[in-house]
Amino acid sequence: MKKKISVLALSSVLIAGSAWASGYRIPEQSVDSVAKAGANIASAMHADASYYNPANMSWLKDAWQFEGALTYINLTQTNYSDNRTPLYNGESEMEHFLLPTVFWSPPT
């Protein structure tokens, strides 16, 4: 059993280390957060409190709360050339995304 767990752990580390992934952070999780320039942690008093600060959900009205938004993201085309070596050169295509966001909070 220990051998199986060791093989699984080692393969997970090797697979994760060789992954080619790009991480994107989208801070615009709610309309209220965008209006407050992201300073929404302590003052989230709508359904988005379930994302920013679940403890604030105890101060919400005793009713179902719903909040939704649809964000359009446009990534422009980018070409990059490095003076050190051509191995670092790269380019990206123009992309368009629609990012739906839904917050839902039950009665407390």
Q: Work out whether the CA dihedral 83, 84, 86, 90 comes out positive or negative.
A: negative
Nearest of 23, 26, 44 to residue 35 by alpha carbon = 44
Q: Which residue has the tokens 């989208």?
A: 26
What is d(CA 96, CA 86) in angstroms, rounded to the nearest whole number? 28
What confidence category does residue 30 fall into, taking pLDDT thresholds of 50, 70 and 90?
confident
List, for residues 44-89, the tens digit of each pLDDT value.
Answer: 888 888 888 888 888 888 899 898 888 888 989 999 999 999 998 9
Provide the pLDDT for residue 19: 58
